[in-house]
Structure 1
Amino acid sequence: MKTIAVIIHRGPVGRTVDLATRLDVSAHLDQVTVVANDLSARPTGLPAGVSWLVPPRDLGRGGAFRYAVAAMPEVSAYLLVENNVRIGDATIGACLELLAGANIGVVAPALVDEAGARSVPARTTRFLVLPRILGNAPADRPSEANWVSGAAMFVKAECHQRVAMDGRYFHGLEDIDFCYRVRNAGWSVVICPRAAWRSGADPDPDGFRGYYEVRNRLWFTRLRGWRGRTAAAAVWTLCATLPHAITYSHRSDRGEAGSRQTPAGRLVLRGLLDGLGPVPPSGDPRADEPRPSRWAASRSRSGAGRRGG
């Protein structure tokens, strides 16, 4: 089974170079490829055999994975992995062995976070479409799941040819959406008992997380025709998420750092409006992603104008 690892890169190169170097000597991987979503040039110290792809623009996780798949189609499987994950060769081998099984489209290791907690089978909540734990995963055998984290997942190439990851989400929920469509197409999503370690997600440097959490959740429900869940998510956003974000914005604005960011309440409201507006076609992300940057830029210009006046 010819397998290519795809590392999604952004920011400081140290972790990416370290992970690529480790994966480059794996007995189970034929190629390691980095997709530089921050459009940075190939760094020094990267092993010669590792490919460094610079996409035409920031494509998000799903779009970057699609970009790498299009560049390297003649393989049997892919490992999609973020640069804050450490995965050993024994885990890679065990996951690929499971992935070779009939009708298994996606396999993920049991992710262990910095506190020592292991990922377990999960599903989205019925109305608000948020991650929900379904009990403890067996530590000695594989278990099926509704979805697994895109921080580290093995994807059968044949499965991705039929059910491609959707890049329009750009930031968040693309892994959940992908796994749901994989299962609907008749493939299984499986958690391997072998572990990988995640050092923790990087903080959102632009403060855009609130926008994408609201918008993508609404897109996810609308694309499935879940009118009741869409209404529940919209009401929850108005009655709970938005007031909380406005309160947070007022507190942040008291500090100099917070005043330079787009208020969280505004981002949540924009996410609600875009989530209920036209949904773009499946495939690559919108041309204006990261979309919230336009409001951050306008706020920066208006602030500079007030200071200059």
Structure 2
Amino acid sequence: MNGGQKQTVAAVIVHWGPALPSIELAGWLARCPSINEVIVVANNQMSCPDGIEPSIRWLVPSRNLGFARAFDTAVCEYPGHDVYLLLNNDVQLSRTTIDACLALLSAENVGVVAPALYNNLGLQSGAGTVSRFVMEPRVRGEGTGARDTVWVTGAVMFIRAACYKEIRFDQRFFLGGEDVDFCLRLRSAGWRVLVTFADPARHRGGSTIPSNGFQYYAIRNRLWLVRRHGGGYRYVAAVCRVAGFLLARTLVADLLKRRGLIRTKLVFHGLIDGVRPMPTLNEPRPDEPRPSLWLDWR
């Protein structure tokens, strides 16, 4: 990478929610010797806050771009780096973790590296795999050292620029599933995906997807994922599982807990959109985030 010269690294934070987590993380990254540039993409259209370090690039798009489009925008606005570090704004990692992941990424044919990610409940994301019949993304148990894996989470992902130029994120997913799809496609193209347990990162909590909105994207994007990578019988099995089990289970839970039917409605719309044709262009739908049609998206 770079013919023996020191690689340049840009960190890209996809911002949503209060400003403070992004300000703190961006400031810490700006002081990290291994990071050459820090870019924040404010998906909630928040203006650059006062007091932020002058070297930090704060991009304000005209709309919520979704996770993949936000990252792609940062790469297009600030090209020329060898590595891009994609981050949620609520992820904590050490300089040791950054250096270890960069060292792994320098190996031949390695396109993506991620540290194992832990939260208050334990391991959140490690060596990702997919189930045999319906391609449901799953996380294997604890491990040691670094290993090849099927996918890693986009919450903290080191991406070789040459790999991303060849195989970009599918921006249609908008929120959730784009990391799995990306890893599956780059592995098919001959790139390697690694996860390391030696130097893990920590997730303080998710703020990218409102909790109810996740119901919609978990269904729609999972069906899209199976459609793209699983073949006909797996896709039919996944649709039947959602329609015959998950939708009914959500309805029963909504009724028993007397919490209204918003979750059932979102699962239903996720199912309908999941079986409809995918958009032809690699960009978010104009009406994204789709759940905002049925709930308050905050």
Shift of 1:135: 4.4
2:19 pairs, out of 13, 24, 35, with 13
Q: What is the match of residue 288 of structure 1?
A: 287
2:195 pairs, out of 188, 191, 195, with 191
Q: What is the match of residue 278 of structure 1?
A: 277
Q: What is the match of residue 160 of structure 2?
A: 156
Aligned residues of 1:166 and 1:282 also touching (Cα < 8 A): no
Deviations 1:26-67 (A, max 9, x none): 010000000000011111221111010011211111111111
- Structure 1 portions without partners, runs of 5+: 298-309
Aligned residues of 1:77 and 1:157 also touching (Cα < 8 A): yes
Q: Given the two structures, how large is their TM-score scaled by the length of structure 2?
A: 0.92
Q: What is the match of residue 96 of structure 1?
A: 102
Counterpart CA distance in 2 for 1:23 and 1:96 is: 14
Are 1:173 and 2:190 matched, yes or no?
no
Shift of 1:6: 0.2
Q: Secondary structure at the match of 1:159?
A: helix
Counterpart CA distance in 2 for 1:294 and 1:119 is: 30
Aligned residues of 1:63 and 1:283 also touching (Cα < 8 A): no
2:221 pairs, out of 202, 216, 220, with 216
**CA 1:117–1:216: 2 relative to 1, 3 Å:** closer
State the aligned residue count. 289
Structure possessing the higher radius of gyration over alpha carbons: 1
Q: Secondary structure at the match of 2:63?
A: coil
Q: What is the match of residue 241 of structure 1?
A: 246
Q: What is the match of residue 47 of structure 2?
A: 41
Aligned residues of 2:167 and 2:186 also touching (Cα < 8 A): yes
Counterpart CA distance in 1 for 2:241 and 2:90 is: 32
Aligned residues of 1:105 and 1:156 also touching (Cα < 8 A): yes
What RMSD, in angstroms, separates the aligned Cα atoms of the two structures?
1.8
Aligned residues of 2:127 and 2:149 also touching (Cα < 8 A): yes
Identity of aligned residues (%): 39
Aligned residues of 1:24 and 1:49 also touching (Cα < 8 A): yes
Aligned residues of 2:116 and 2:123 also touching (Cα < 8 A): no
Q: Given the two structures, how large is their TM-score scaled by the length of structure 1?
A: 0.88
Q: What is the match of residue 84 of structure 1?
A: 90
Q: Secondary structure at the match of 2:290?
A: coil
Aligned residues of 2:88 and 2:208 also touching (Cα < 8 A): no
Shift of 1:222: 1.2
Aligned residues of 2:17 and 2:207 also touching (Cα < 8 A): no
Q: What is the match of residue 4 of structure 2?
A: none
Q: Secondary structure at the match of 1:80?
A: strand
